[in-house]
Amino acid sequence: MAASLIHTLTADPPILVCSSLLLCSLAALLFTYARARRPARGSLPPSPWRLPLIGNLHQLMAVADEGLQALSKKYGPILLMHLGSFPVCVISSGELARKITNTHDAVFSDRASTKASRILFSGENDLLFAPENKFWRLSRKLCVSALLSPTNVQALFYVRDEEVAKLVKLIRANGSVKAIDLSDLLLKLASSIVSRAVLGQTKVSGSAEDDNEVKGKLAIKVAHMISDLFSFEDFIPALSWVDHLTGLNRRLKKTAQEVHAFLDQVIDEHERNQSADDGPDKNDRKCFVNIMLEFQRKGMIGLDNLTRSDIRAIVLDMVLAGVGTTAAALEWTMAELAKNPSIMQKVQEEVRRVVGGKSKIQESDISQMKYLKCVIKEELRIHGPTIVGRKSTSSITIGGFKLPAGVSTWINLWVIHRDPAAWDRPFEFIPERFLDARYNYKGQDHVYFPFGLGRRICPGMEFAMAEVEYGVANLLCWFDWELPDGMRAEELDMRGSTSEPSYKIIPLRLVPVPVSKPASCS
């Protein structure tokens, strides 16, 4: 090769000129090809290679959040994937996320529905999946101003208090002999609180079981129906017939019929109670169904035309949004504390110092537990929702790329909440970061928004935080927690499921050690 190079350099001028021209032409051709391959401003975002029919689904089958992180590193903060037949734009930048949920919030006001949601919510009148129509705006206003208002969240403290007290009593009965399945208990706690707040305490089940337990099971069943089912129709409409062969369509319709029938019984019972008492519960303990029926009875503008289907849809929205996410937050908070004993000890000392010698935790005590709040914020950063979904109503240019109308957009919170440019040691559980003024976010900043942003922000944020804070405070106040069978903290399995919300793959089992005098630990 060296001899050939020397020959070229010492050859006659015509040969040298021709060689130079050839090299220049080749370089120009490569440059032109590279420019052609680079996405032009206003074009579609870059896309990873995809397989026929399934598109990029295979890249999300294992661990979706880590898969999306790898793709974002390769293709940048905005990329276009194809999940079966449907294009999905993935946003992994806090700055771009804020443009979607704030600057261009009106364009990205819709959400993509699923087969399960379409069957469960007959029609488009619901809060979670419906487009931004008249009913959506009305029901959201109802939630923000009445059902989930700060006043009503505070009024529902008795529900949290009673259900958490039942859990504490149940755990005390276990003693400190064996480990308990805390994941299961916390899921039941979340479902019982939400079902009581939404449905009240009417006796309509006709079952030998406790009525609240029946409603709690219903809440869990509905949550699983939406989050755990894979439908071919949702990704490859040409294969929707497979859902019929697998029996998915039949199971979904049967579940929806059972849920609707049960909710009709609940609403009928509340209507009878209102007629008998000339108004809702005399003790002023109003559940969400009470409030909606009262507004309807009084002819509140817009609400006087609520149909039975509308009320069912709002009730189901509350159940779906409240059970799974809250149960996951409770579970992951306790798992992280078990994984980090020094942090658990620190937050326990705060909780027990605030409670002092009282026999129960008052709601006003929670506001003094600053470090507890930091622990829960950090849990939401690491284990909170991984994807915030939106759907565009018209074509728009974001980050220099043109997105077509109707494209689904995934805001990748998993990456944004772990951005090393925004967070020190982003993969570590460090609640103290929220004591720093730099990280004193309130859910509205572009680097931390576990409850979403813009007009689709979760209206139940205050309700959920009150439930998680009170539940964790009681678990830490009245019990010490040990890992079972001599397990070390670093051996605790922290893998999460691929569902949304994500639960621990291996349920959290801990040994509760009752504490009779928490004040002694201050």
Residues placed in the known binding site for heme:
458
161/275 Cα distance (integer angstroms): 29
365/477 Cα distance (integer angstroms): 12
Length of the chain in residues, anyone?
522
Q: Is 398 helix (H, G, I), strand (E, B) or coil?
A: strand
451/385 Cα distance (integer angstroms): 8
Dihedral of the alpha carbons of 456, 457, 460, 465, in degrees to the nearest 10: 160
Closest by Cα among 129, 72, 23, 89 to 418: 72
Please enumerate, by residue number, every residue annotated as part of a binding site: 458
CB of 227 within 8 A of CB of 502?
no
Closest by Cα among 55, 95, 100, 113 to 415: 95
215/83 Cα distance (integer angstroms): 35
436/407 Cα distance (integer angstroms): 38
CA geometry: angle 74, 75, 81, nearest 5 deg: 120
Closest by Cα among 485, 385, 381, 466 to 428: 381
468/471 Cα distance (integer angstroms): 5
Q: Is 510 helix (H, G, I), strand (E, B) or coil?
A: strand
508/177 Cα distance (integer angstroms): 16
Q: How far apart are the first and last CA of the chain?
A: 80
CB of 468 within 8 A of CB of 330?
yes
Backbone phi, then psi, for 356, in 5-degree steps?
Answer: 65, -135
Neighbours of 398 (CB within 10 A): 21
CB of 443 within 8 A of CB of 461?
yes
Look up tokens 């039949």; give the residue: 250
| Element containing residue 411 per DSSP (H, E) | strand 408-412
For 173-232, give the DSSP string.
HHTTSS-EEHHHHHHHHHHHHHHHHHHTT-----SSS-HHHHHHHHHHHHHHHHHS---H
